[in-house]
Amino acid sequence: MIALSLALAASARAEELLPYTIVNDGIPASLTGAPGDVARGRALVLARTTTCILCHSGPFPETRFQGDLAPDLTGAGNRWSASQLRLRLVDASRFNPDTIMPSYYRADGLVRVGRNFAGKPILSAAEIEDIVAFLATLRD
Amino acid sequence: MISWRAIAVATLFAVAPALLAGEIPPDARRSGYTFMGPDTRAMQDDDTSNPGMLFVLDGEALWAKKTGSANRACADCHGDARSSMKGVAARYPAFDKAIGRPVTLDQRINLCRADHQQAAPLPYEDRELLALSAFVAHQSRGIPITAGDDPQAKPFVAQGRALFMQREGQLNLACTNCHDDNFDKRLAGAPITQGQPTGYPLYRLEWQTLGSLERRLRSCMTGVRAQAYDYGSPELVALELYLMSRARGLPMETPAVRP
């Protein structure tokens, strides 16, 4: 209950972000209310501007330039539920304040954000849902 | 060509202050050179294939050329740069008593132009400024970095260190997250270095030209989607000073070549 009220308070500060409800270690409900698109999610994970592939690697044989700063995404759908994946994308720092993984759905508490990015989350709610849908399919 | 045995010896004898958590110990400090492939190393090592040497040669000509309303050349005051400029760049940014803060080598060149040549300042990343900087810094090639040792520079080293540790930008990352904690790993397939500024100004293949450390720092800030500091800003100078003090003992390589 405490986690829930904190999350609502935090998301209320950045106006354009949709509110979400944390339950245990995840966000069970879709941010948009609709399921994401797996194919779009795969394209987003591989797009350098989305930044996933800069640090992560995964079962993407066509992509040469992958990172190794973060866990391989292979089997992510076995390790995490959609609810857990959603919260990890939205705000990974909730699990580890020292993580280098950015909080993809947050627009407050940041320092010196570039003009073109100020007040915006890294990903939109719909993009998060597409990526969650795709990662959930990564099963061994 | 730099002897890596000399680097090891220089590093061994460097007297470093007590390390703070997360910092790279002196014997583990590595130039970006050690993260490169053999082709890029070979390009740097051979002066006839190192594109930065063209700038050094231009800088040598500018050193001797009279300029400004004083009609005076650098050489008219400083003489032969091979002796007068030897080791100078390894101590920059250096504290300037007149203005009470550290100045970069680029800023020193422009201060000299204003005060002694009565010449207009050269813009940042201007070819002439890079050439002069490269020529001066080249006279320190092989000399261990000692910038930041001046006690008057210490508060500015501390300011630079705080900026290095500060998370910033939409991606909320600090320099230290990559360059202290994750060097040798790969970001989008490319090795992350320690960010030791041993060879500036340097020739970056990605830029297809010589560029300053400030250009590199601004590009990193843009990468984490932060608002980059302006060229010559006190913050960038402090960061540059901290980075040089963090590279203490590593030999200068100007003009380095990097991917």
CATH code of the domain in which A49 resides: 1.10.760.10
- Two tokens, residue A127: 């993009």
- Predicted confidence (pLDDT) per residue in B203-243, tens digit: 999 999 999 999 999 999 999 999 999 999 999 999 999 99
Poorest-pLDDT segment among A28-42, A104-118, B17-31: B17-31
Long-range contacts of B37-41 (CB under 8 A, 24+ apart): B37/B259, B40/B205, B40/B257, B40/B258, B40/B259
Rounded to the nearest angstrom, the gap between the alpha carbon of residue B254 and the centroid of all alpha carbons in its chain is: 8
Residue B170 is nearest to which of A65, A67, A122, comparing CB atoms? Answer: A122
Mean pLDDT over the full length of chain A: 91
Tally of domains within chain A: 1
Is the Cβ of B57 closer than 8 Å to some Cβ of chain A? Answer: no
B94-96 and B101-103: which strand pairing? antiparallel
Domains of chain B (ranges, CATH numbers) = 24-258 (1.10.760.10)
Residue B172 is nearest to which of A102, A115, A116, comparing CB atoms? Answer: A102
As a whole number, mean pLDDT of residues B155-173 equals 98
Chain A residues whose beta carbon lies within 8 Å of the beta carbon of residue B190 = 65
What are the phi and psi torsion angles at B30 (to 5°)? -135, 135
pLDDT at B1: 46
Q: How many CB atoms lie within 10 A of CB A4?
A: 12
Shortest Cα–Cα distance, B215 to chain A (Å): 16
Q: Which domain holds residue A98?
A: 2-136
Comparing CA positions, the residue from A59, A76, A82, A78 lying closest to residue A132 is A82
**pLDDT above 70 for A3:** no
Distances (CA, A) of B200 to B111, B134, B204, B249: 19, 7, 10, 16
Q: Mutate which of B167, B170, B177 to disrupt the A interface (most A C-beta within 10 Å)?
A: B170
Query: Is A133 in contact with A36 (CB distance < 8 Å)?
Result: yes
